[in-house]
Amino acid sequence: MSTSERFAELLNEFAAVIGQAEMPTDERGICSFLVDGTVPVNIGQDPGGEGLVIFAPLGAPPAEHRGTWQVRMLRANGAGGGAYMFGMAPASDTALISSHRPLAALSGAALASWVGEFVEVARSWIDAFAKGEEPDAVSTASADSWLQV
């Protein structure tokens, strides 16, 4: 079975687990849906086809604290070995979150669990941005001078 066929099969398994008839993909092969009317979720194969990527826009960090939010996002990334990666969309102020797992390691139930965890993390960042406050524990310099966005 090809990786694209396995991806389609996995989406069908996922649909059955969450009680949906299907989880269609767009012309780019990305499955997009909204959870609880608040968290946009996108699922697609990584460019190599061997992994699955979940990603979502988080909105714009509060402008008056953008630099400190960028530092917090970098810290959340760790050394790239964390469960989630944060970044900024090119040519916009939109923060993004993503997560990656091997396609072969997933079942419909495992994908549903992963999506649930992902949505909780994404929702916490969306809510934090919406409050417009400075992030906690901001004892570092602004990222504006050294972070390329």
Q: pLDDT by residue (tens digit) across 83-107?
A: 889 999 888 889 999 999 999 999 9
Higher pLDDT: 137 or 86? It is 86
CA distances from 87 to 27, 78, 94 (A): 24, 12, 9
Alpha helices, DSSP H, located in 1-149: 3-18, 66-77, 108-131
Distance CA 8, CA 23 (A): 9
pTM, full prediction: 0.84
pLDDT value for 65: 87
Torsion over CA: 112, 55, 84, 66 (sign)? negative
- Mean pLDDT within 8-27: 95
The answer to whether the beta carbons of residues 17 and 109 sit under 8 Å apart is yes
Average pLDDT over the chain, rounded to an integer:
86
Residue 81: per-residue pLDDT: 61
pLDDT at 144: 39
Q: Quick check: 49 pLDDT over 90?
A: no
What's the rounded Cα separation, in Å, for the pair 112 and 114?
5
Q: Report residue 71 as tokens.
A: 């530092």
